[in-house]
Amino acid sequence: MSESRRILVVEDEANIRDLIEVALRFHGFATVTAETGEKALRLADRKRPDLVLLDVMLPDVDGFEVCRRLRADGNQVPVIFLTARDTPSDTVTGLTLGGDDYVPKPFSIEALIARVRAVLRRAAPAAPDDVLRVGDLELDEAQWTVRRGGVVVDLSPTEFRLLAYLMRNAGMVLSRSQLLAGVWGWDHGNPQVVETYVSYLRRKLDPLGTPLIHTQRGVGYALRP
């Protein structure tokens, strides 16, 4: 993934803003934040973000108006609206105004990151360097495809993200809590989830060659050829 993509996070609630910012950084994005609509408009102009996560309910100018003004200025940056107002008319308003997507609150961070990636992918076609390779394993982050020895491996979104994380850190032993934070965005959680998904990955990858995911007992996992 393009590691330097910059996301403007516009949200007046500090705890939600922080949560989003931390998660985006975990996933390799750069961030700028604004707590008001006016500041968002200034930053959108000055910082030229690749995408805007735009809360609708802001203390000054609402998110719809921010989007309207961006478009009026000729700024076509992709916009994803965040809002608690989950009514069909709001969805239509947001999309009519030139928003690219709409995420109702409360949302899971994982789902939000997936939307960000999907909108960025639509906005800018993949560069060839979006492909991760380890041994005979090949993962294309832009196309969401995985091949081992040329054979397509069908993965769920979580399996895909876990594998991508392991491949980006190939050769390193990653603890279960590191994986929980990096893949799921959880500071706390049941490490059993990691074990379960590692076993799913092994079941799909191991029949195609020698095992790639190695268990470091009492520590975690490492992916290496």
- For 23, 93, 99, 145, 197, the CA distances from 155, given in Å and listed in that order, are 22, 35, 30, 8, 11
Nearer to Ca ion, 12 or 130 (CB): 12
Nearer to Ca ion, 12 or 138 (CB): 12
Q: How far is the CB of 13 from Ca ion (least distance, A)?
A: 5
Q: Which of 9, 29, 34, 55 lies at the binding interface for Ca ion (CB under 5 A)?
A: 55
Q: Does 90 bind Ca ion (CB under 5 A)?
A: no
Q: Does 101 bind Ca ion (CB under 5 A)?
A: no
By CB under 5 A, the count of residues binding Ca ion is 3
**How much of the chain is in helix, strand and coil states, percent to nearest 5?**
45, 20, 35
Q: How far is the CB of 122 from Ca ion (least distance, A)?
A: 26
* Distance separating alpha carbons of residues 23 and 110, to the nearest angstrom: 9
User: Token digits for 173?
Assistant: 């032993």
Tally Cβ neighbours within 10 Å of residue 15. Answer: 8
Q: What are phi and psi of 65, to 5 degrees?
A: -70, -40
* Distance separating alpha carbons of residues 56 and 148, to the nearest angstrom: 43
Q: Does 12 bind Ca ion (CB under 5 A)?
A: yes
Stretch that binds Ca ion, among 8-16, 40-48, 120-128, 188-196 (CB under 5 A): 8-16
Write the interaction track for Ca ion spanning residues 161-190; mark x where CB under 5 A is met and - where it is not.
------------------------------
Q: Which of 57, 173, 193, 222 lies at the binding interface for Ca ion (CB under 5 A)?
A: 57
Cβ 191 vs Cβ 200: under 8 Å: no
* Distance separating alpha carbons of residues 41 and 39, to the nearest angstrom: 5
In the chain, the largest separation of any two C-alpha atoms, in whole Å, equals 58
Nearer to Ca ion, 40 or 194 (CB): 40
Stretch that binds Ca ion, among 5-13, 20-28, 125-133, 168-176 (CB under 5 A): 5-13
Binding region for Ca ion (CB under 5 A): 12, 55, 57
